Amino acid sequence: MPRCGHVAIVGRPNVGKSTLLNHLLGMKLSITSRKPQTTRRNLLGVDTRGDVQAIYVDTPGIHSAGSRQLNHIMVRSAVSILADVDLIVALFEHSRLTEEDEVVINHVATAGVPAIAVLNKVDLLQDKSRLLPAMKALGEKTLGDRSVFREILPLSALRNDGIELLRERVGASLPEAEHVFSEDQVTDASERYLVGEIIREKLMRRLGDELPHQTAVVVEAFRPGERLTEIQAEVFVEKDGQKAIVIGEGGQMLKAIGQDARRDIEQLLDTRVMLNLWVKVRRGWTNDDRLLRRFGLGDFGN
């Protein structure tokens, strides 16, 4: 019988969830940056290898949400799916567990779903014996008489080290079931959505130190053609000063962001792209339910 099931990838912010998904899929699907909380909503990625189809769900980082409504939505988006998947892969950083990691562990434990713990970024450790305290601590996590994690694996998502072992363990943990997606499908996300995410990634990479989380992207027009796809997208910020930063002196920053994004979009769509970007101010959008829904971040971000 074939095997198929949903696998949630969870962890605190900036622990490498999106990088792990991309390496499991063998392609870049989920956007990445060195800033935490890059992922804002659950993103599905399908890895089909022979008789096994693992449907991964890349989730926003689980963290103390603070006061912004956007942060609360992101955390709910991650936590809300845990009870509905067949397996959880929980990521932690190699040699230590933080308070936010403990929050993640508590959510995993109460979900009542089989879970694998992964110690990521082990390439940063010259002395691999430093993994032992974290592995011991994770192995001792229990809920009643049940261990929270059935297995603990070291891994380096960035170096692609340990990916195959994790893939094998995931496949062995999935239920016997017919495949949900065709063999060549890698996501259920629309091209329009992925285009918006690519633009947001370039914004974060160019302006992460100045505007780490105050930007949103809405693709207002998406006109595919045989030789050229025309795209118009709006970048939203919260303040006039932020708009000036995004545009840059003489429009140079916005031009550079557009060039960065267009290259990746052309690779995604396999066609030439005409990309027009506009910057608009929407004050307090990270706390405005109506605007959050417009930006695709309402209803737990799904």
pLDDT score recorded for residue 75: 83
In the chain, how many domains are there?
A: 2
pLDDT score recorded for residue 64: 67
What is the span of the domain harbouring residue 109? 3-173
Domain final position from 146, 173, 200:
173
Say yes or no: 155 and 248 in one domain.
no
pLDDT score recorded for residue 301: 38
Say yes or no: 143 and 94 in one domain.
yes
Instruction: Report phi then psi at 115, rounded to 5.
Output: -140, 145
Q: Which two tokens stand for residue 22?
A: 């991309």
CATH code, domain carrying 226? 3.30.300.20
Cα diameter, the chain: 64
Residue 110 lies in a domain: yes
Residue 179 lies in a domain: no
Say yes or no: 195 and 169 in one domain.
no
pLDDT score recorded for residue 66: 59
Give kind and range of the element (H or E) at residue 217. Answer: strand 216-223
**Tokens 């890895």 sit on residue:** 47
Q: Residue 64 carries which DSSP code?
A: -
Say yes or no: 128 and 272 in one domain.
no
Q: How far is CA 56 from CA 88, 162, 268, 280, in A?
A: 9, 17, 20, 34
Residue 94 lies in a domain: yes
The pLDDT profile of the chain, 302 residues, written as one tens digit per residue, is 899 999 999 999 889 899 999 999 999 999 888 777 788 788 999 999 999 999 999 998 887 655 567 777 888 888 888 989 999 999 998 777 899 999 999 999 999 999 999 999 888 877 878 788 889 999 999 988 899 999 999 998 888 889 999 999 999 999 999 999 999 999 999 999 999 999 999 999 999 778 767 789 999 999 998 889 999 999 999 999 999 999 999 999 999 999 999 999 999 999 999 999 999 999 988 888 888 888 887 654 33
Say yes or no: 247 and 113 in one domain.
no
Residue 225 lies in a domain: yes
Residue 109 lies in a domain: yes
Give me the torsion for CA of 219, 225, 228, 231, rounded to 10°.
-10
3-state SS string for 102-122: HHHHHHHHHHCCCEEEEEECH
Say yes or no: 213 and 166 in one domain.
no
Say yes or no: 202 and 165 in one domain.
no
**Tokens 């005409």 sit on residue:** 274
Say yes or no: 85 and 46 in one domain.
yes
Q: Which two tokens stand for residue 102?
A: 């403990």
Say yes or no: 198 and 168 in one domain.
no
Say yes or no: 210 and 140 in one domain.
no
CATH code, domain carrying 76? 3.40.50.300
pLDDT score recorded for residue 212: 64
Q: Bridge-partner residues for 91, per DSSP?
A: 118
pLDDT score recorded for residue 299: 52
266: amino acid identity, one letter: E
Say yes or no: 236 and 100 in one domain.
no
Domain final position from 173, 207, 238:
173
Residue 183 lies in a domain: no
Residue 289 lies in a domain: yes
